[in-house]
Chain A
Amino acid sequence: MIEVRNLWKNYGDKVVLEGINARVEEGEFITLVGASGCGKSTFLKMLLGTETPSRGQLLMDGQAIKAEPDRDRGIVFQQYSVFPHMTVLDNVIAAEGFKQPGFTGLLWGKKRREARKKAQVLLEKVGLSASAQLYPHQLSGGMRQRLAIAQALLGKPRILLLDEPFGALDPGIRKDMHELVLDLWRTEKLTVFMVTHDLEEGFYLGTRLWVFDKLRQDPQAPDAYGAGITYDLPVGQPDPKELETIEENLKGSTHD
Chain B
Amino acid sequence: MKRLLNQQPSTAGRMLLSSLPFLVLLLIYLVASDLRLEANPSDKLLPSFTQMGEAIQRMAFEPNRRTGEYLFWVDTFSSLQRLLLGVLIAASFGLLIGLLTGALPLVGASFSPVLTVISLIPPLALLPVLFIVFGLGEVAKVALIAIGITPFIARDMQKRTLEIPREQLIKAQTLGGNTSQVLIRVLLPQLTPRLLDAVRLSLGTGWLFLIAAEAIASTEGLGYRIFLVRRYMSMDVILPYVAWITFLAFLLDWLLVSVNRKLFPWHGHGGGA
Contact = CB atoms under 8 A, between A and B. Distances in A.
A48 B170 contact: yes
A195 B80 CA distance: 57
Contact of B266 (A68, A95, A103, A135): A135
Nearest to B270: A137
A208 B119 CA distance: 56
Interface string A130-171: 000001110001001000100110110100000000000000
Interface in B147-198: 165, 167-168, 170-178, 180-181, 184-186, 189-190
B171 A151 contact: yes
Contacts of B174: 48, 69-71, 73-75, 152, 155, 157
Interface stretch (A4-12, A77-85, A232-240, A246-254): A77-85
Contacts of B167: 77, 79-81
B176 A136 contact: no
Nearest to B272: A84
B115 to A, nearest CB: 26
Contacts of A83: 168, 171-172, 185-186, 272
A225 interface: no
B176 A98 contact: yes
A95 B266 CA distance: 19
B25 interface: no
A105 B181 contact: yes
Nearest to B177: A98
Contact of A69 (B165, B173, B271, B272): B173
B176 A80 contact: no
Given A80-B165, A84-B190, A85-B266, A137 B175 contact: no
A105 B177 contact: yes
A45 to B, nearest CB: 9
A137 B270 CA distance: 8
Interface of A is mostly: loop
A155 B269 CA distance: 27
A69 B167 CA distance: 11
Most buried by B among A81, A83, A103, A105: A105
B111 interface: no
Contact of B189 (A75, A85, A144): A85
A98 B168 contact: no
A144 B269 CA distance: 14
Interface residues of B, number: 28
B254 interface: no
A106 interface: yes
Interface string A87-130: 00000001101111111111000000000000000000000000
Contact of B273 (A71, A95, A141): A141
Interface of B is mostly: helix
Contacts of A137: 266, 269-270, 272-273
A75 B272 contact: no
Most buried by A among B171, B267, B271: B171
Nearest to B264: A85
A141 B178 CA distance: 28
A70 B167 CA distance: 14
A68 B47 CA distance: 70
Contact of B171 (A75, A105, A141): A75
A71 B172 CA distance: 9
B265 interface: yes
A50 interface: yes
A102 B171 contact: no
A82 B176 CA distance: 15
Most buried by A among B168, B269, B273: B273
A177 to B, nearest CB: 15
A80 B173 contact: no
A104 B271 contact: no
B145 to A, nearest CB: 30
Given A105-B177, A105-B184, 7 more contacts: A80-B271, A81-B168, A84-B272, A85-B272, A98-B172, A105-B181, A135-B265
Interface of B: 165, 167-168, 170-178, 180-181, 184-186, 189-190, 264-267, 269-273
30 contacts: A48-B174, A68-B173, A69-B170, A70-B173, A75-B170, A75-B174, A77-B171, A79-B165, A79-B167, A80-B165, A80-B167, A80-B272, A81-B171, A82-B168, A83-B171, A83-B185, A84-B190, A85-B266, A85-B272, A94-B175, A99-B175, A100-B176, A103-B181, A103-B184, A105-B178, A141-B273, A144-B273, A148-B171, A151-B171, A152-B171
The 8 closest A-B pairs by CB, nearest first: A84-B272, A105-B181, A137-B269, A80-B165, A98-B177, A80-B167, A69-B173, A98-B175
